[in-house]
């Protein structure tokens, strides 16, 4: 008896190949369907924004888009919830400083 050993074998899935995104200039491997936060976590990155007051580091907290701690700048667009944005080949993610609008800090 030869039973499936991987979840993809159980459902007969054939996922697309891995791809890369960049985070602050560092190339990271990503899998199809992963959120930006999942890609960063997989690479050991736990913080990708700083708070407006005090510059304290933040990353994903709730993982469902409710807390807004996971905000990142994705492809030049600030305030993207990294836990909800699906990674795409070639995405450029940068650490978001404060409110993400440089020169317009309160």
Instruction: Show the domains of the chain with their CATH numbers.
Output: 17-94 (3.10.20.440)
**For 6-21, how does the pLDDT look when each residue is reduced to its tens digit (9 = 90+)?**
777 777 767 789 999 9
Q: In the predicted model, what is the mean pLDDT of the chain?
A: 88
CA–CA distances in Å: residue 25 to residues 5, 85, 91, 93: 36, 19, 11, 8
Asked if pLDDT for residue 93 goes beyond 50, the answer is: yes
- Model confidence, pTM: 0.80
- Residue 57 corresponds to which tokens in the numbers above? 């580091």
Per-residue confidence at 102, pLDDT binned at 50, 70, 90? low
Q: What is the pLDDT of residue 105?
A: 44
């Amino acid at each position: 008896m030869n039973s499936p050993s991987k979840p993809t074998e159980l459902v007969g899935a054939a996922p697309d190949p891995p791809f890369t995104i960049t985070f602050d200039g560092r190339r990271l491997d990503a899998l199809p369907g992963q959120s930006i936060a999942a890609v960063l976590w997989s690479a050991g990155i736990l913080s990708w924004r700083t708070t407006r007051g005090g510059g304290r580091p933040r990353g994903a907290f709730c993982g469902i888009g409710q807390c807004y701690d996971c905000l990142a700048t994705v492809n030049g667009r600030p305030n993207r919830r990294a836990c909800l944005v699906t990674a795409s080949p070639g995405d450029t993610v940068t650490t978001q400083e404060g409110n993400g609008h440089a020169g317009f800090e309160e």
